[in-house]
Amino acid sequence: MLYREAGQFKSTYAEDMQIFPIRQDRVAVAVLLAVAFVVVPLVATQYWFSALLIPFLIFSLATLGLNILTGYAGQISLGTAAFMGIGAFMAYNAELRLPWMPFLGSFAIGGLCAALVGIAFGLPSLRIKGFYLAVATLACQFLVLWTINRVPWITNHSASGVIAAQKMEMFGYAFDTPASKYLLTLTIVALMALAAKNLVRSETGRAFMAVRDMDVAAEVIGIPMMKTKLLAFAISSFYCGVAGALYAFCYLGTVEPEAFVLDISFRVLFMVIIGGVGSILGSFLGAGFITLLPIFLNLGSDFIAKTFDIEISHAVVSNLESITFGGLIIFFLIVEPNGLARLWQIAKEKLRLWPFPH
Amino acid sequence: MTFFIEVVAGGLLAGVMYSLVALGFVLIYKASGVFNFAQGAMVFLAALTFVSLLEMNWNFWVALAVTLVVMVAVGVLTERIVLRPLVNQPPITLFMATIGLTFVLEGLSQLVWGSQPHGLELGIADVPMEWLSQKWNINISKFDLFAAAVAGVLVGTLAVFFQKTRIGRALRAVADDHQAALAVGISLQHIWAIVWAVAGFVALVAGMMWGVRNGVQYALTFTALKALPVLILGGFESVPGAIIGGLIIGASEKLAEVYLGPYVGGGIESWFAYVIALLFLLVRPQGLFGEKIIDRV
Amino acid sequence: MTVALHQHPRAFPVGDVILSVENVSLAFGGVKALTDVSFDVREHELRAIIGPNGAGKSSMLNVLNGVYHPQEGTIRLRGREFHDMNSHEAAGLGISRTFQNIALFKGMTVLDNILTGRNLKMRSNFLEQALWWGPARREEIVHRRAVEEIIDFLEIQHIRKTPVGRLPYGLQKRVELARALAAEPTILLLDEPMAGMNLEEKQDMCRFVLDVNDHYGTTIVLIEHDMGVVMDISDRVVVLDYGRKIGDGTPNEVRSNQTVIDAYLGVTH
């Protein structure tokens, strides 16, 4: 009843092509943004910002990046963490060596460096596909991490390899409180998500999906294989690079190689699968789900420990986390391969009919 | 010169270990077309179960038998719960399901048996063979040779199994063409259960070998990941390919570490195998022994 | 379907030779798909390629649009010689095609599939698209308009937002034709456009093929098994058998050619 489209006609192609063609959606999104930008900073606690919201946003961005490459363009990649790492370290170096550069510019430089490496490691995709490509991206993951560890210039000759991230300041205002970091991250992620949405519904997005669905046919109708695949790698790596820079500067506070190991690559891949392959909304849903899950497991195990007066060690919870992640992946692949985004779509379809059965 | 031989020999023998893991992959891929990313986790589970039972003072052979049963059970359950529902999905979906399976098995192994490292003794000491070291001044570990022998026996047994027995023939039929196999009355579910069981057994052997060499600990799963470059070199469907691929990767990795390593700060072993695989993919995507992949519109 | 078509004056009368195949031979390893085949195609005409199964018809089409490269012979397009044209170049030169086993992008809607056909005409770069800024936005609307015209032309308005994977076979074929048309080709290659269709669907598809030729003046080369269709709608016919040309002429000429009749009846030759 609330979600009817009746009476909402489109009289121009421009209207038909909007991101949110249904008025109720537009209202909902406006409310959501208002809550995110205005209400949350007022009511949320420090813990909420640091442990939940900021990592959720950062991983949403990384998931967006991987989704563009794997979900839309069909090129599977296990090197996400490496690209995040490049973004973080190059942003650090830009801040260090280009003092005149505003920190947002440093983040962009981090992203661009990641994009360049992404193009280099995307070249194999012109000849290989599927899990062969996945193994090739593993080469990227390990090689990049090794390089970061071994080339002293990258870590500014730090002895321990763990460097403190610089302060972020703009026009004299320092982003050092959790709330300010949250708003900064939120703005960056929201803008980049908008850009991603625009990209995937335009010709570039269609070219990506054509390559994913049937690349031989795509080539026959004139879509340039090399340009399309490399562009996918470049854009995806840029997003992951910026996410990595945010990860180091707004969340960890340090820039270290250990934060960008293979496990992170898998985690982001899981967010893509659970959230929904080839869906912008899905990237957020998947990231949210995977970020919240460990928190729930912790709360759950604390509750059980208190109720039954038993000891549950941290290792147990960590292993339960692994099992749950793996199990959820399998569950989603069997039951709903298009992830939470599809479940959301189905819910909306039902909502259109509500309260009528059909 | 002797040093070089030592390095090469050491590399080859390390390569044999990789081959053992890769062998499990090949078996499953050959029979069901599934790329089992979880093979490494299976190796870990097998090793951990076996070593924990030993530490609980169980008899060696009983522990071995029980672990084998566990691995077979894991294989059958995997086939039933994970693979059967996903039968008609594209290969990439199955691949991602096995990534999920990896996490489940790794978590389960450590949940049940704990996460501290274990040492494993199989009665063969990891010391240089006196005969070789005294006569030719070459140090090659006895254990490495034992592992190579075990691998040889395993491959030989598998070869005989595939070629001479009825079940082996059925396995080859299924690997070739599922529909045709069904048409002659071969039960696919049966065959897949057997294949996963055999792969579980191979994982156990690999786990035991690796366990002695490096101890049974979580890092084992990373080593198992190295089987992927081996498969790329050897081709996903070839048993000899897995062996030869393993040998090449093992040897070149060691050589690179020893001779190139000092120039670039060491630690090459973390990525060298993958880069070799990458280069191979660009030149010969189907590997040395694999079948050429043809794209048709 | 024996009514003679094209009785009214054609909007685009058949013109000069626009495409000619000269002594083309194609082999895959030991298998000779095509041996010394030569024929030409005139502008605005409807040329059919027919022949028993395995005659090399699809291979010929694949050579025409650069998917296969012949070992011998050349393709001459508007006077220019090509030995090694790749499919990307062919698309740029105005050659579009459909496939025997539908090659649509199953994950996208009908509208998006047809829009991909316009990709060669799109000029905006990815940054402009990401910002949804002026040129990208305007261009998208212009191309949307062009695609909607094709959708109207092929009467598929009711399914424009449906994911292609959910459509019945006949409609998928029509969408594939739409995608080929979206590129505004000068030469359209159709690989068995009527395969797997019932009589009504075939009549519809015939009507559309003729309309395309009439309305847009597109030169059409089509492979087809249905003799009735071929004889009725084509201007000239090429007959292939075991990779060689055994007949070339108007439908009537080919119909009474003894070699062609033998080939179809399976008389050893």
Q: How many helices (H) and strands (E) does chain A have?
A: 15, 4
Q: What is the pLDDT of residues A267-296, one digit of tens each?
A: 999 999 999 998 999 999 999 999 988 888
Instruction: Place C3 in a pLDDT band, splitting at 50, 70 and 90.
Output: very low
List residues of chain B with CB under 8 Å from any CB of chain C. 297
Q: Which two tokens stand for residue C97?
A: 């095609």
Contacts of C101 in chain B (CB under 8 A): 297
Chain C residue with CA closest to A222: the answer is C88
| B11: in domain | yes
**CA angle, B100 then B105 then B106, to 5°:** 100
Beta bridge partners, C36, equal none
Interchain proximity C129–A217, CB inside 8 Å: no
Instruction: In whole angstroms, give the CA distance from residue C4 to residue B167.
Output: 64
- Number of helices (H), then strands (E), in chain C: 10, 10
Which ranges of C154-226 does DSSP label H, i.e. alpha helix? 169-182, 199-216
Chain centroid to CA C45: how far? 12
CB atoms within 10 A of CB A187: 12
Is A37 inside a domain boundary? Answer: no
Inter-chain Cβ pairs, chain B and chain C, closer than 8 A: 4
pLDDT 10s digits, B8-55 = 888 887 888 888 888 888 888 877 778 888 888 999 999 899 888 888
Q: Check residues B154 and C37 and name the one with the higher pLDDT.
A: C37
Fold classification of C14-94+185-269 is Rossmann fold (3.40.50)
In a domain? residue B165: yes
Chain C closest-CA separation from residue A340 CA (Å): 17
C-alpha distances in angstroms, B180 versus A254, B171, B173, B294?
Answer: 58, 12, 8, 21
Bridge partners for C239 per DSSP: C50, C247
Q: What is the pLDDT of residue B87?
A: 75
Residue A108 resides in a domain: yes
Give every CB contact of residue C87 below 8 A, 6+ residues apart in sequence.
A219, A220, C65, C66, C67
Q: Which domain holds residue B33?
A: 2-283
Q: Does C68 contact A at CB distance below 8 Å?
A: no
Residue A161, burial from CB neighbour count under 10 angstroms (0-12, 13-18, 19+) = middle
Tokens of A50: 């640091």
Q: Which domain holds residue A69?
A: 44-353
Distance from CA of B136 to the nearest CA of A (A): 37
Residue A36 lies in a domain: no
Shortest alpha-carbon distance between residue B78 and chain C (Å):
29
Would the pLDDT of C152 be above 70?
yes
Whether B105 shows a pLDDT value over 90: the answer reads: yes
User: What are the average pLDDT values for consecutive 10-residue runs of chain A, which has 358 residues?
Assistant: 72 80 81 85 80 92 95 90 94 88 90 95 84 85 89 77 77 80 92 93 92 88 90 96 94 89 92 92 94 86 82 82 90 89 87 76
Residue B90: give its domain's CATH number.
Answer: 1.10.3470
> What does the pLDDT average to over C8-23?
86
Q: Where do the structural domains in chain C lie, given as residue ranges?
A: 14-94+185-269, 104-182
Q: Do B104 and A337 touch (CB under 8 A)?
A: no
pLDDT tens for residues C177-199? Answer: 999 999 999 999 999 998 888 88
Instruction: Tell me if B125 is assigned to some domain.
Output: yes
Sign of the four-CA dihedral C80, C83, C88, C90? positive
Instruction: Tell if the CB–CB gap between A326 and B107 is shorter than 8 Å.
Output: yes
Q: A329: which chain B residues are within 8 Å (Cβ-Cβ)?
A: 96-97, 99-100, 103
Confidence label for C5 from pLDDT (cuts 50, 70 and 90): low
pLDDT for C6? 53
User: Can you list the positions of beta strands (E) in chain C?
Assistant: 17-28, 31-42, 46-50, 72-77, 80-82, 95-97, 187-191, 219-223, 236-241, 244-249
Residue C34: what pLDDT? 93
Cβ contact A87:A243 at 8 Å: yes
Provide the number of structural domains found in chain B.
Answer: 1
**What is the predicted pLDDT for the residue at B126?**
67
Rounded CA-CA distance C242/C202 in Å is 27
> pLDDT higher for B94 or A275?
A275
The 3-state DSSP class for residue C248 equals strand
Contacts of B239 (CB under 8 A, 6+ apart): B23, B26, B155, B158, B159
pLDDT digits (tens, 9 = 90+) for A74-101: 888 999 999 999 999 999 999 888 888 8
Residue A27 in domain: no
> How many angstroms separate the Cα of C68 from the Cα of each of A90, C186, C243?
45, 20, 15
In a domain, A26, yes or no: no
Question: Does any domain span residue B292?
Answer: no
Q: Record the tokens describing residue A340, joined without a space.
A: 């939470």
Distance of residue A40 Cα from the nearest chain C Cα, in angstroms: 28
Residue B170 has pLDDT above 90, yes or no: no
Residue C7: pLDDT band with limits 50, 70, 90: low
Interface of B with A in 182-241 (CB under 8 A): 225, 228-229, 232
Count interface pairs A-C at CB distance under 8 A: 94
Query: pTM score, two decimals?
Result: 0.88
List the CATH number of the domain containing A173.
1.10.3470
Phi, psi (5° rounding) for residue A98? -125, 75
Residues of C in Cβ contact (< 8 Å) with A278:
107
| Half-sphere exposure in the Cβ direction for B55 (13 Å, CA) | 14
Residue B136 is predicted with a pLDDT of 67
CA distances from A190 to A70, A159, A181, A267 (A): 21, 37, 14, 22
**Is A99 among the domain residues?**
yes
Nearest to B86 by CA among B102, B98, B72, B75: B98
Residue of A142, A260, A324 best to disrupt the B interface, most CBs of B under 10 A:
A142
Supply the pLDDT for residue A238.
Answer: 96
The total domain count for chain A is 1
On whether residue A121 sits in a domain, the answer given is yes
- A45–C contact, CB cutoff 8 A: no
Contacts with A218 from chain C: Cβ below 8 Å: 105, 116
Give the distance from residue B134's alpha carbon to the nearest chain A alpha carbon, in angstroms. Answer: 39
